[in-house]
Amino acid sequence: MKFILFIATTLFTHSVILCQTRLTEQSDGPEKISRILFVLDASNSMYGRWENGTKMEVAQRLMTEMIDSLSDVENPNFELALRVYGHQKPVPPQDCNDTKLEVAFGPNNLSRIKQKIRELRPLGTTPIARSILSSRGDFPKCENCRNIIVLITDGVEACDEDPCAASKILQKKGITLKPFVIGIGLDPELVKSFDCVGSYYDAKNEVAFKKVLGVILTQVLDNTTAQVNLIDNQGLASESNLPVILRNTESDIVEELFIHTLNYKNLPDTLSLDPLIQYKGLVYSIPPVAIDSTYIYAGKHNQVGTRVIMGQLNLSIPGAKPSQTKPIALIRRPGETQILNVQIFNTSNRYLSGAYQLDILTLPRYSEKIEIKPGRIHNYSIPAPGDVTIQLKTNGYGAIFEIDGEKLTWVTNLDDKLTRQRYAIQPGQYMLVYRSGSSQQTSYSKTKKFNVSSGTSTLVRL
């Protein structure tokens, strides 16, 4: 009652050659091999009359013509295989294991596929789901292949199993792309049951069947173009130079990883994408922005994208000595704990417009809320630190506090193993508290105030 086909074919030789030529012209690297598995319905319902013969006779004739057309392609980047079901055991009784890979993938096997198709005689039942699941073993491991299914059917699953679930399993595991489903004279009431299996095409007659095969061929063998638009605050696709990942929505496999580029016309550069894949994406701005799940339509130039409205943050520390390590700022959204970025001072970085919290890892720490506006540069600076050297007679325990009026704020603890320690400390007034490591009484604790100025050196002895 059904063909299950992983198919990339046509009945017209020039269409096949055209698609092959386009693939060659557009590919920058090794071409992916399209592996097309025909899983052919040879159940007893295929004896039903359709147009100028039985459904099986029409299918045999049209598939043979299609394979003849494919045989004329020079240097093909596709491989074919044939799985058949419902052809080994008659009904009754029903045998839901009646599915078999008749011709495996391999070079120069088209004549064998044609011969096997001609030999088929409809006999048994219709184990669609089991045939789909069995097909996962029909594709040998390949790093540069795309596996495609097309189901051509005149009826529905007959073994109380779920073709939709079977199709989902193969797609989620990345074994196959979304199947094609071609209905041969299918009852309109049954059509909806195949929407979840794959992309459905209704072949009401022979002419429609030929046309559907041509459409499927275009989607399978012909690269489709697309551009990724990163829209700014003025509605223009002007943002660029950001990493982008496009994933297969169903399997979550990474299909494309690239740096977004504007071409010589200052337009988003054109990509070749697979029209058999539904994509979802992520633009690695700070923070990242999602590209909603989207379909790519074969034969058209597709527009994919999202709003990426950005501004720039410049962090500076005027007057800092070249020998001093530049402090860093932890960038967060206000009220959130996730660190979006770590930016070094005296650098610039782009962020999505909006409010941010800066936690600046100086001594003492600074914390600041800022607003980055679309298309604007936000400049933020801090004073250069001073160099403070702590000289102790013996090693011991201590800490530095910042003095702000009557308020003391802890800055850092001393290293209890060193007698000479050096720190880069922001300008201000400070107090050192210290006790020798050999002292056993609190009363031996000592304190000393000291001031720090930008770019100066301060020695504190205690």
Q: Which residues pair with 78 in a beta bridge?
A: 34
Q: Where do the structural domains in the chain lie, given as residue ranges?
A: 2-221, 224-307, 310-374, 386-461
pLDDT at 281 over 70: yes
pLDDT band at 17 (very low <50, low <70, confident <90, very high): very low
Residues 6+ apart with CB under 8 A from 347: 314, 315
Which DSSP symbol is given to 66?
A: H
What CATH number labels 386-461?
Answer: 2.60.40.1120
**Token pair of 91, please?**
């009904």
Summarised one tens digit per residue, pLDDT across range 397-413 is 999 999 999 999 999 99
pTM of the model: 0.79
Overall CATH class of domain 2-221: alpha beta
Residues 6+ apart with CB under 8 A from 61: 53
Two domains, one topology: 224-307 and 386-461: yes
Summarised one tens digit per residue, pLDDT across range 419-458 is 999 999 999 999 999 999 999 899 999 999 999 999 999 9
Summarised one tens digit per residue, pLDDT across range 355-390 is 999 999 999 999 999 999 999 999 999 999 999 999
CA–CA distance, 289 with 203 (Å, rounded to integer): 41
pLDDT band at 26 (very low <50, low <70, confident <90, very high): very low
pLDDT at 255 over 50: yes
pLDDT the model gives residue 190:
80
pLDDT the model gives residue 83:
94
pLDDT at 326 over 70: yes
CB-side exposure of 250: number of CA atoms within 13 Å?
21
pLDDT band at 30 (very low <50, low <70, confident <90, very high): low
Contact 384, 324 (CB under 8 A): yes
Summarised one tens digit per residue, pLDDT across range 194-209 is 889 988 888 888 888 8
For residue 134, give the 3-state DSSP assignment: helix
What CATH number labels 224-307?
Answer: 2.60.40.1120
